[in-house]
């Protein structure tokens, strides 16, 4: 396994950070990242209803009758896609790197007790995003328990 996330504190909140490297242009990765058909496959509860502009809304459905929205706070193709989902901040940034690009995914939140579960969840979601970027068939690996164990042991060491 690789591509594990890290946990930091910033201004009294918790920030999970993941980095993924791709041998593709930032334009291609950004396009795949924000494509509503792909977004619904890798991002939890996404409906595909996305107004891709600063101030635009992204709609989510929790499957239990609750619909909620995120507000896009930064949209700068092919470099950044950031939004506030309820009280959490999601920041996705793409930088040119060695014959491709690096995607940095950050999730800022309050509840530290959820960090292990959140880290395992995002790890899995970003694995699926990678499958989409590489043009592979989406397969959700049955590794949630293993990832939670890893993050339980390693997330708080910094």
DSSP H helical ranges for the chain: 26-34, 36-42, 115-133, 144-154
- For residue 2, the model assigns a pLDDT of 67
* CB contact set of 76 (below 8 Å; sequence gap of 6+): none
Q: Dihedrals φ, ψ of 117, to 5°?
A: -70, -40
Local confidence pLDDT in tens for the 158 residues of the chain: 468 999 999 999 999 999 999 999 999 999 999 999 999 999 999 999 999 999 999 999 998 989 999 999 999 999 999 999 989 999 999 999 989 999 999 999 999 999 999 999 999 999 999 999 999 999 999 999 999 999 999 987 64
| pLDDT the model gives residue 88 | 97
Total-model pTM:
0.94
Query: CA angle 127-129-130, nearest 5°?
Result: 65
């Amino acid at each position: 396994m690789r591509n594990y996330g890290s946990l930091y504190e910033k201004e009294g909140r918790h920030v999970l950070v993941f980095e993924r490297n791709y041998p593709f242009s930032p334009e291609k990765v950004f396009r795949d990242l924000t494509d509503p058909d792909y977004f619904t496959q890798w991002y939890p509860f996404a409906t595909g209803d996305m107004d891709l502009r600063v101030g635009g809304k992204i709609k989510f459905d929790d499957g239990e009758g609750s619909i909620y929205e995120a507000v896009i706070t930064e949209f700068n193709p092919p470099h950044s896609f950031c939004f506030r989902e309820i009280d959490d901040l999601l920041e996705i940034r793409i930088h040119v790197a060695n014959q491709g690009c690096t995607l940095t995914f950050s999730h800022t939140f309050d509840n530290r007790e959820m960090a292990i579960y959140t880290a395992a969840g995002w790890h899995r979601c970003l694995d699926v995003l990678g499958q989409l970027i590489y043009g592979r068939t989406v397969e959700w690996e049955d590794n949630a328990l293993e990832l939670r164990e890893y993050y339980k042991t390693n997330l708080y060491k910094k």
